[in-house]
Amino acid sequence: MGAAQQLVHADPALEATTDEDRNVPSADRIFLLHQISARLGHRDVSRGFWALCQFADLERLEVFAQSQPFQIEGWMDSCDNAINQCKLRICKSCEG
């Protein structure tokens, strides 16, 4: 066994990875995303919000799934504003 393999096996946190750690959404995440979509009437949402939901903590997604549509829409607007601010900062830094 090589040194790198020994290091990986020596760290229990690395052995405790899940499919979620490998970008494969868990059944719980998929269920919660379907609930959020249903709360919003299966309408289109911003790509940024949906992307953040893919990486959000499951406990936060549970809150979203139990919230009223207007609350989810407010969080969606906040996510979109934060993403737009990042884009603006990146574009300004490229202008030199």
Tens-level pLDDT at each residue, the chain (96 residues): 444 433 344 445 545 556 656 677 889 999 999 999 999 999 888 888 888 888 888 998 999 899 999 999 998 999 888 888 877 666 666 665
| Per-residue CA distances from 26 to 31, 54, 60 (Å) | 9, 10, 15
* Cα angle 21-22-24, degrees, rounded to a multiple of 5: 100
The residue ranges of every structural domain in the chain are: 26-95
Residue 69: CA atoms inside 13 Å, Cβ hemisphere, count? 9
